[in-house]
Structure 1
Amino acid sequence: MPDYFLGGNQLVFWKRWIYSGIHIQSAGPINEIRLNIQKPAGNLSNDKEIIGSGLSSLSQLVSNLRTLLGIKHLYEMKLAHFLSNELLRRMRDQLSISNIQQIRAGRVEDAILRATKEGIFEIVFEMVKVNPQLVWSHDARSRNIFSVAVEYRRANIFSLIHGLNIENGLAGFPDFANKNNLLHMAGMSAASTSLNQIPGAALKMQRELQWFKEVESIVPSKSHGFLNKEGLTPRQLFTKNHADMMSNGEKWMKDTASSCTVVGALIVTIMFAAAFTVPGGNDQNKGFPIFLNEKLLMVFIVSDALSLFSSSTSVLMFLGILTSRYAEEDFLKSLPTKMIIGLSTLFFSIAAMMTTFSAALFLMLREQSWIFIPVICLASVPVTLFVLMQFPLLVDMTI
């Protein structure tokens, strides 16, 4: 199910299951699914009022359920997908018997360029498969479909270039207006819609660098130093167009690192102090903890040490972010890697800190077994809240 037909949004798993269970027949009129309830045999005249009332209530219930679950909306999406595929099939059949004059008269090139801008891979792929000459379609500014795919960050359409093996030809034809080649297109600012799913300016900057590096790796080396109408190389154009994004990314990184550093430093202080104030106190004669032979004390000591070490690592990583030089290349690997390590160790330190607290409480209240479950539940609350707030960011950065 292409993202285009989902409106750019990912459906939750149960809506995907409903979507996959909706079947639309290709023959005959397309109608919505309705209940087919058979009337019972017997004295229909006596039961007519009861049956009518029951059917009306059941129909209302089904309608409300469909609205609540979004089935009607999913059906409309499935219908749009089906009709689009049917239209695409007919266009493909017509293209196979048309000559180049008919193709141009039918504005097929305009359609394929529009599909490229919108990221509709199926249309581009099917048209090019039927007529490979359409790969050289261009607009009034002499931008071919791969230049448009690079400019609008359509990775799935751009991937066709590897299979067609025409990188040199495509990169060697700059547009008429600004003399921008394929790599210049990668250096332009991305449309906001292509970066909406990426949280944080630093990750957007990383994605832009990854895109530029990918295009740079396949175009000929002579294209790297090609000058456009403004006298800029692709790399200079990238730096110029992404100056604001890099500045916003630096501010986002510093703000995030500063906030997390405060939390990490607080945990370091608490865990360091807790290591010398074990629950139950120490033996006045030998100096050893009174509960030295208790397993829960070992849990307390180990979790305290793990929390201290992981929070210290987290603080060091965030300090590395704060003292970074923030060059363009730093956004590619260095800064995201430090942020991933810092957030991961911070999550672990918070969980270990709650384990330390719970172990200490259990040692002191061993005779009160009823307190165990409430303490465990309460200790998990801050960990859960912190994970809900920051864990999605960690997942996005890791991906």
Structure 2
Amino acid sequence: MKKEDILVIGAGGCGNRQLNELMKLDARYGGLFLNSNLSEMDELEYFDKDRRCFYISNADGCGKDMEKMKQFAKEEAPKFYVMIKKFTQPYFLFLASANGGTGSMATLMYAKLIKSKCSEKSINLAITFPALTETSTDFENAIQFWNEVSALKKNNIIDSIQYIDNNKGSEKEVNIKAMKQLDESFNMVNGKLDTSDSLKVHSTVGYKVFLKLDENIENREEAIDTAIKNSMFYMPSNFECDKMIGDINTNDFSIKFIKEEFECYDFSKFNENTDNETKILLGGCEMPKETIDLVCEALKELKNKKRKRVVEEDIIIKRNKPTNASKKDEVPTKSRITSSDLNELFADDSFWDN
């Protein structure tokens, strides 16, 4: 599909960095950096405070507090709506982390807002789930996000969903590789495949899967297994789908083989080539339950470890009270400053001259 028809909203620190990586690959994407912490956006190459910025001012981040961000998002909703109406792209893609405060909650809140006010837009998600070394707050936020996305999907507010696996390397490595694979999935317009075919699959409701098959692997089934393993995205337990397109190098793979390996129910279309790599895009797959199962298990283990944790009591050191302290050495008993004290203190302008 045409990349100029895609508005990518990078929400929160994670989404900001991923959007920057995506725009490095192709500047034709429309980009909007959204954050409550200006410093996380300001250092990025493609950030433009005049054209590509929605800043929730005076928030200074929200410390992974999703409820705090929910209130911020409500307060800033009128401004966001005015800004988003200026973008004409039909396809909106949110990038964010599931475990943050700003990115995850802004995605949930503003997906609803966009769909209610601009129902013709296709709302899609590519969300990063936390590594299993994170904290209980991260896991609890991710579980909340999973549940709320499921409700949005059920209510036809969002279309395609992809979940990035943050266990597959450092944050920087994951961002670079995931954005490269995401960009490649939008490059599948070739020969018999046109932009409408691509858009149809990219906006199919459900989980989306992109695979690139390695022609150097002689065993065809092994090539598929390797493509699944090398993906930076979580994979569903099976690959039955509603829609599928493929750009197939017939020197390496046959369309018959692809159809046998991937069950498609509603729409499929293939382009045959003899020069390019073999790429497959599936839309409308089932959600990958492994994503949330791993998070729930990690949270359970962390709670068990915390329950077994032994914290020694603080040691209280007794001190002998001096017997010869003079009155001038005594600590004042009045510790709080009242409004009357402050008024009296600043009543005389000569205070500022000292």
State the TM-score, normalizing by the size of structure 2: 0.25
- Greater length-normalized contact order (CA 8 Å, ≥ 6 residues apart): 2
The structure with more helix, counted as a fraction of residues: 1
Normalising by structure 1, we get a TM-score of 0.23
